[in-house]
Amino acid sequence: MDKVKFASLFVISSLFVFGCAGSKNAEVVAEKSKADISTDAIASDVIETAESKHFFWKVSDENSSVWVLGSIHFADESFYPMDSVIENAFDGAQELAVEMNIREESVSQEVVQQSLQKGLLPAGTSLNQVVPPAVWNSLDSLCAAWNYPIAMFKRLRPWFVSTTLSGLAMERIGLDGSMGIDAVLLDRAAAEDKTIVGMETAEEQIDAMSSNDESDSAGAFYLRNTLREIGELDSMVTRLVRAWKTGDEVLLRQVLNADTATTEQDKAFEQKFEEQIYTSRNGKMAESIESYLKDDRNVFVVVGVAHLMLDEDNVISLLQRKGFRIERF
């Protein structure tokens, strides 16, 4: 049984942040990339001799290939420009495939609608009635420290509180959803008239967090973990950023893995969480990439790095089992 993969801070919280952000930061990054990275056509000899030091793969069949990049959903200017092997592969792609095309207005509106529909508690029910007193007290203490009104959370389901806290926490340490890898590449793809493909719908993404027979109990478990992670945020993010920038697979897995289950019920929630957030979605992502290869499409895929780095059943291993050639750069 895999452990929860640091999801409290990086899985869905980005949907509520960079989806509402403008493209100003991405435009700055694009200009910086143009100044510092050659935009010549992809040179195969450079790609073949590049060191395998990024969370970046080329997946190929007999006559086509797809690039797959592991994203961090919150970042800053220090992430850019990315390595030339990534930049050149993106420049040479005709399409960008992302988890969800939040740049499309109808999708962004659907995220808000689905979040409100599935993230609000029933009338007459408050958050402090559905989470343990210790969790509520921890949230109250955090809100006081942040000078943030806890009343803003009283009508929200625990999972929705967690995603909101996660976005706020990342912004407080200087990372920005609009500077996340997927957000920046989405804006660049739009500016360069690349076709943008969403692999999931807003409903599928929100359901991954909210669809559970015991959603409030599971959400309380998730919220408790989020509050714990926020207390360790500086250290965790420092290690995560270093792992991503250096391609350190061991360090990344250390950060992603968190031993949080202490009871049988917690273990059940954790297992369900794994299935909803990763296992089922990874299978669908692998199927999408397989279809791009079957149709000989020139696609650059970017998804959360955790989807590519699970100990088993990650997107890359699933594609490898399907017989595709896998190269890491």
The count of other CB atoms within 10 Å of the CB of residue 51 is 10
For the chain, the average pLDDT equals: 83
What would the pLDDT profile of 166-199 be if each residue is shown by its tens digit? 989 999 999 999 999 999 999 999 999 999 999 9
Rounded Cα–Cα distance for residues 278 and 221 (Å): 17
Q: Which of 36, 33, 30, 41 is CA-nearest to residue 88?
A: 41
Q: Which of 201, 221, 107 is CA-nearest to residue 159?
A: 221
pTM listed for this prediction = 0.84
Please give the torsion angle defined by the CA atoms of residues 35, 40, 42 and 44, in that order, rounded to the nearest 10 degrees.
-110
Name the maximum alpha-carbon separation found in the chain.
65
With beta carbons less than 8 A apart as the criterion, state whether 177 and 79 touch.
no
Residue 126 region, left (φ>0) first, then alpha (ψ -120 to 50), else beta? beta
The count of other CB atoms within 10 Å of the CB of residue 219 is 26
Phi, psi (deg, nearest 5) at residue 232: -110, 15
With H, G, I as helix, E, B as strand and everything else as coil, classify residue 159.
helix
- The pair of three-digit structure tokens given for residue 39, joined into one six-digit string: 């935009």
Question: What share of the chain in percent tops pLDDT 90?
Answer: 57
What would the pLDDT profile of 206-242 be if each residue is shown by its tens digit? 888 776 545 688 888 889 989 988 988 888 888 999 9
With H, G, I as helix, E, B as strand and everything else as coil, classify residue 199.
coil
Enumerate residues 6+ apart whose C-beta is below 8 A from 45. Answer: none
With beta carbons less than 8 A apart as the criterion, state whether 137 and 130 touch.
no
With H, G, I as helix, E, B as strand and everything else as coil, classify residue 166.
helix
How large is the average pLDDT for residues 310-316?
87
Q: Which of 285, 287, 286, 292 is CA-nearest to residue 64?
A: 292
Residue 20's pLDDT is what? Answer: 39
What would the pLDDT profile of 79-115 be if each residue is shown by its tens digit? 999 999 999 999 999 999 999 998 889 998 999 899 8
Strand residue runs (E) in the chain: 4-5, 56-60, 65-71, 95-98, 195-198, 257-258, 299-304, 325-328
Rounded Cα–Cα distance for residues 187 and 194 (Å): 10
Rounded Cα–Cα distance for residues 83 and 79 (Å): 9
With H, G, I as helix, E, B as strand and everything else as coil, classify residue 136.
helix
- The pair of three-digit structure tokens given for residue 31, joined into one six-digit string: 């200009």
